[in-house]
Chain A
Amino acid sequence: MTVPIAVFASVELDQHATPSWHPERPGRLDASLSGVPAAGLMDAVSFREPRLASPAELALAHAASYVAGIERFCGSGGGDLDPDTYAAPGSWATARRAAGAVLDAVDALRAGDCDIAFAAGRPPGHHAVADQAMGFCLFNNVAVAAARLAGEGERVAIVDWDVHHGNGTQDIFYDVAGVLYVSLHESPLYPGTGLASETGGPNAPRSNLNLPFPAGTRGDVYRQAIDEVVAPVVEAFAPDWLFISAGFDGHRDDPLAGLELTSSDYADLAVRLQSLAPARRTVVALEGGYDFDALAASTGATLAALIGESYRPEAPSVGDVGRPTIAAAKQRWELR
């Protein structure tokens, strides 16, 4: 039976035990999923336990030696990987499950089990490059699933609205013609990448669209960016699949960045993006988002919007900041 939304989450199996001071901590999943009942979506949602991605599947986007290294590191007790990124003994299983959630989301949509699939995994993935963890991320969950699809000849568009540029996803697919990577992010900000001039490698021209916005940018400009830049670029690419790398740290209450989006803005973005993909081919994958209330409201608003419901605990935001980014992108990408 088809359900409107399949949610792949494993709150009770979350063993990625970061230190208590760390903003990327286990409570994030509870917070995100609390948006489902708050939005009145319990009847529309089927919760499913995601599987563990296999090392071979992880190696679709990562060096096999790196995958083995993370297993070894976690098995020997874990610890700091860099000043931001931590791995606990249980992180090996939980990170595999986060990648498995995105793989399962694809499989559920393919099987016709759901209209929308939400992979609510942690740690997030979009900073992880092929051979290095960084930015809280161990495995690039979206990249693993996108690489599998691309290997099967499917065209994949990834739209990343996390406030931080997804340097790992861009890096992995920069010269892959069958994968379009689009990022709307705050700049300047960690990880310092995501320049508008980065448009794809020699074998994949115009496969990478970066929209770097200044701090203070609000929903009005993000809506315009989707309508006037992202939509025509994605439509021209004609994807078979759409992945939304859904970090909710662009919310105005998030402590790690300075955009001023609201949960209703995310709902508006989601609806616009969904229209760019074939039916039953939109996967929403959780990335960042570190204010628990914002995470709950944004998750609820996004999922509700994707099945035609309205849950808007906050008003859409307006601010007229960041429009030059849109003008520059339209010029660079020769859009009217």
Chain B
Amino acid sequence: MSPAGPVGPVVVGVDGSPDAARALDVAITLARSTDAELVAIHALGLLTVVDGEHVPAFEHRDDVERLLREEWCAGLVGAGVAYRVELVDGNPTEVLTHLADAAHPSFLVVGARGIGESADRELGSTSYHVTRHATCPIVIVPVARSDP
């Protein structure tokens, strides 16, 4: 059966964390299999980490943009999908849920736990909050198991 219309993009949150890297891999697979555009988003907060130091994001926007494009999303190059990479001001939950409302993605993909996020799921987890607030299908990529 052919689809009724254009497929919404696959949106993935990225932040340089291992979980986000695996979320990006899953998003690539989904985008490739559904012939959808992939949109990789990083939410720029008040602070960011550059060269291991916590610094004001406002003063290091260019550094984050470079990390986002050249390192965190390096796997997109040659992945065989159409993609966009966006740096957006805001809290990750708010940015992703707003985008989910506005862009009607076919999937929103997030890692289970991003950088600087709380282990308390209800208070500090982007993945938890997007499941409560976003209105599109959500894929949560679980934390990697270290045991075999």
Please list the residues of chain A having a beta carbon within 8 angstroms of any beta carbon in chain B: 19, 21-23, 65-66, 69-70, 72-73, 79-85, 127, 132-136, 164, 167, 188-193, 255-258
Contact = CB atoms under 8 A, between A and B. Distances in A.
Contacts of A73: 118, 120, 123
Contacts of A66: 123
A82 B118 contact: yes
Contacts of B90: 190-193
B9 interface: no
A194 to B, nearest CB: 10
27 contacts: A19-B54, A23-B46, A69-B122, A73-B120, A73-B123, A79-B118, A80-B116, A80-B117, A80-B124, A81-B123, A82-B91, A82-B126, A83-B48, A83-B92, A83-B116, A132-B93, A134-B91, A135-B45, A135-B46, A189-B58, A190-B46, A190-B89, A190-B90, A191-B91, A192-B89, A193-B94, A256-B58
A188 to B, nearest CB: 6
Q: DSSP majority for the A interface?
A: loop
Given A133-B124, A258-B58, 19 more contacts: A22-B47, A22-B54, A23-B46, A80-B116, A81-B120, A82-B116, A83-B45, A83-B92, A134-B94, A135-B45, A164-B46, A188-B89, A189-B58, A190-B46, A190-B89, A191-B94, A193-B90, A255-B58, A255-B59
Given A21-B54, A192-B95, A80 B89 contact: no
A21 B53 contact: yes
Contacts of B93: 132, 134
Interface in B41-59: 44-49, 53-54, 56-59
A81 B123 CA distance: 7
A310 B49 CA distance: 41
A257 to B, nearest CB: 6
B88 interface: yes
B125 to A, nearest CB: 9
A80 B115 CA distance: 10
Interface residues of B, number: 33
A292 to B, nearest CB: 15
Given A73-B120, A190-B46, A135 B58 contact: no
A83 B117 contact: yes
A238 B56 CA distance: 39
B92 A79 contact: no
Contact of B91 (A135, A255, A258): A135
Interface string B95-118: 100000000000000000011111
Contacts of B45: 82-84, 135, 190
A191 B88 CA distance: 9
Contacts of A192: 88-90, 94-95
Interface in B115-138: 115-120, 122-124, 126, 129
Contacts of A79: 118-120
Interface string B41-83: 0001111110001101111000000000000000000000000
B89 A191 contact: yes
A304 B22 CA distance: 55
Q: Most chain-A CB neighbours within 10 Å: which of B46, B56, B90, B126? A: B46
Contacts of A69: 120, 122-123
Contacts of B120: 69, 72-73, 79, 81
Contacts of A127: 91
A23 B56 CA distance: 8
A73 B123 CA distance: 8
Interface string B1-41: 00000000000000100000000000000000000000000
The 5 A-B residue pairs with the shortest CB-CB distance, nearest first, are: A83-B116, A192-B90, A192-B89, A81-B124, A134-B91
Given A21-B53, A191-B94, A192-B94, A83 B118 contact: no
